[in-house]
Amino acid sequence: MNSVIASPLLRDARRIVVKVGSSLVTNDGRGLDEAAIGEWCRQLSQLVRGGREVIMVSSGAIAEGMKRLGWRNRPNEIHELQAAAAVGQMGLAQMYETKLRENGLGSAQVLLTHADLADRERYLNARSTLLTLLKLGVVPVINENDTVVTDEIKFGDNDTLGALVANLVEADALVILTDQKGLFTADPRRDPGAVFVHEAKAGDPALEAMAGGAGSSLGRGGMITKILAAKRAAGSGASTVIAWGREPDVLLRLTQGEAIGTLLVAQTQKNQARKQWIADHLQLRGSVTVDPGAVQQLRAGGKSLLPIGMTAVEGNFSRGDVIAVCDPQGLEVARGLANYASAEARLICRKPSSEFAKLLGYISEPEMVHRDNLVLTR
C-alpha cells in the first residue's frame, strides 16, 4: 500500500478532472486566493496546450459569499446557504475567467445538481455540453448549483461532484487538491505514528477506516469524502490522486508521472466499467429491431447503431434510456443508451442522418446509439 514508484497512470491521462476545495480556493475563508487560483490556471493552460483535456470542479462559492456577507460561521439554513452561494458564485466565476483568460484559455461556468445527473436525458445533455467545450479548448469550471438545491438533491460535497463529473465525461483521472498532503493511516494531527499512504487500491475498505471526519468548518468534505469519491470514480475506470493543492506545479508534475500525494488506483478498465454498467444495472425501456447488415456492423465492425439500419421501434422510451437492440428474429444482440426518444426514433427509422433535420426540426446525434454507449449481449 505504500509504493512510491512513479505511476504512468497520470502521465498517460488525456482527460482529467481537477477538484479544489473551499479552504484552498478561499485561503481558509479569508477571500478568494487570487495567487493560488492563478497558479492552477497557469498549470491548466500548459496541460491543454500539451494536448490534454481538463475540467475544473471548484468549491468556494459559499465560503466566498460568507466572506462578502460578513458571516464568520457557515449557516445551517438552506436559504442562507443558497444566498451565500449566489453572492459568492459571482466572484468565483469572474476569478477563474480572468485567470484562465490571462493564460490564453476560454472558460465556461457549469452549475449542476444531483437531479441533472440522475435524469438520463439531462445527464446526456450535460455530457454533450462538457465534451463540446473540451473540443473547443475551453475549460469548464463546475460547481454545485447551491442557489437552487435542496437537501434532497444536494451532492453533499464537491468531492462527490468531482467523481460524478469524472464518470460523466469518462475521465482518465480525478485529481483532488486539498489542504492535506494526502491520506495517512490515521489523523496525523492526533496520532504521531500515522504513516503516509503513497498508493492503494480505490475502493479498499481499509481506506475508509483510516479516514476521519470533515477537515474544516468551511467545506462539508474531509478525507472520508475523498476516499468515497475515489471509489465512485473507479467505477468508470478513473484513478484518483489526493494531493496538497499548494505543492509547486502539482498538476504538471503529476502528469509527468511524479509520485505526489496519494494515488488510489482504479481496478476496472474504463470501457469495461461503462459497458458493465449499461449491461447490468439499468432497466430496458424499449427496443429497436435492426437489419442483418446492422447486426454485422455491430458485432464485427464495432460500429455505432445508425437509424438507417433500424427496421422497427418498440416501447416508449426517452433520450438517455437503455434500450435493447434486436436482430430480425427478435433476439437481443446488444443494448445501449438511446440518443433519441421512441417517437423520434420512429420518424428517423431507415433514414440517413442528412434527413434528420427535415424530419425532426433538429439533429442531436447522427447515431441512435453511439458505440461508446453500446454493449454486445450476444
Q: pTM for the full model?
A: 0.78
Rounded Cα–Cα distance for residues 279 and 3 (Å): 35
Rounded Cα–Cα distance for residues 34 and 183 (Å): 27
Structural domain spans, the chain: 8-273, 282-376
Q: Is 338 helix (H, G, I), strand (E, B) or coil?
A: coil
Q: What is the DSSP string of 132-156?
A: HHHHTTEEEEEEE-TTT--TTT--S
Rounded Cα–Cα distance for residues 296 and 195 (Å): 55
CATH number corresponding to 8-273: 3.40.1160.10
Q: Exposure string (b/e) for 71-94, b if CB count within 10 Å is 16 or more? A: beebeeeeebbbbbbebbbebbbe
List residues bridging with 239 in a β-sheet.
173
Torsional class of 83: left (φ above 0), alpha (ψ -120 to 50), beta (otherwise)? alpha
pLDDT for 151 equals 59
* Amino acid at residue number 324: A
Mean pLDDT by 10 residues, the chain (378 residues): 56 95 86 94 97 95 89 87 91 96 96 80 88 96 81 71 91 94 85 90 87 46 85 90 96 94 87 72 84 94 93 95 95 94 97 94 92 90
Centre a 10 Å sphere on the Cβ of residue 16 and count the other Cβ atoms it contains: 25
pLDDT for 247 equals 95
Q: Exposure string (b/e) for 141-161, b if CB count within 10 Å is 16 or more? A: bbbbbbbebeeeebbebbbbb
List residues bridging with 200 in a β-sheet.
264
pLDDT for 120 equals 72
Are the CB atoms for 370 and 131 separated by under 8 Å? no
Question: What fold, for 282-376?
Answer: 2.30.130
DSSP strand E in the chain: where? 15-20, 53-58, 106-112, 138-144, 173-178, 183-184, 196-197, 199-201, 239-244, 262-265, 284-290, 310-315, 322-326, 332-337, 374-376
What would the pLDDT profile of 63-105 be if each residue is shown by its tens digit?
889 989 999 888 888 889 889 989 999 999 999 999 999 999 9
Centre a 10 Å sphere on the Cβ of residue 267 and count the other Cβ atoms it contains: 12
Are the CB atoms for 264 and 201 separated by under 8 Å? yes
pLDDT for 3 equals 43
First-last CA distance in the chain: 39
pLDDT for 325 equals 97
In whole angstroms, how far apart are CA 12 and each of 135, 293, 318?
Answer: 19, 37, 36
* Parallel/antiparallel/unpaired status of strands 310-315 and 322-326: unpaired
Going 153 to 372 to 264 to 132, the CA torsion angle's sign is negative
Centre a 10 Å sphere on the Cβ of residue 41 and count the other Cβ atoms it contains: 23
